[in-house]
Amino acid sequence: VEDQVVPEHVDRTPYLISMAGGETNPLDSWVVFVTIGTVMGGFASGMLHNRVKLETIAGPRIPVRMRWMFAFIGGAFMGYGARLARGCTSGQALSGGAVLSVGSWAFMFAVFAGGYALAYFVRRLWL
C-alpha cells in the first residue's frame, strides 16, 4: 500500500525497498500465497462443516462494541510491539524456545505471568 501512495519514500528506505521498492513485486513472495491458501482453506473447511457465520462472542457484562474496541487496541499494541522488537511474540517463543535460548524462555515466562496477572482485572468482563 505504501508503495502505491509514496513510492519515493519506499525507494529510499532500506527496510521497505527489500519488500516493495523499485521493480520488486510483493506478489513474488511465497508468503503471500501461503496466506491466501490458509484463508481459502479455512473458509472451505468452514463451508463444508456449516460453521461459517458472523458473530462476536462477548461476556454478559461487556457490550459487543467494547469487545471490538478492546480487540482493536490489543491488536494495535501487539503490532506496535512486534514492529518495535523486529519480530513477533510467537516467533520469539517458538524459535528461541526451541533452541533453549535463555532470553526466549525468560520472555515466555514474563508473557504468561503478565497475562495471568492481567486476567484478574479483566475477568469481571467475562463472568
Q: What angle do CA 55, 58, 59 make, to 5 degrees?
A: 150
Counting other chains too, the contacts that 92-100 makes at CB distance below 8 Å and 24 or more residues apart are none
Give the three cell numbers for residue 12: 529510499
pLDDT tens digits, one per residue of 17-73: 776 666 767 777 888 899 999 999 999 999 999 999 988 888 788 888 988 998 999
With cut-offs at 50, 70 and 90, classify the pLDDT of residue 1: low
pLDDT of residue 22: 64
pTM of the model: 0.57
pLDDT of residue 58: 80
How far apart, in Å, do the first and last CA atoms of the chain sit? 41
Q: Which of 17-26, 69-78, 91-100, 103-112 has the lowest mean pLDDT?
A: 17-26
Mean pLDDT of the chain: 85
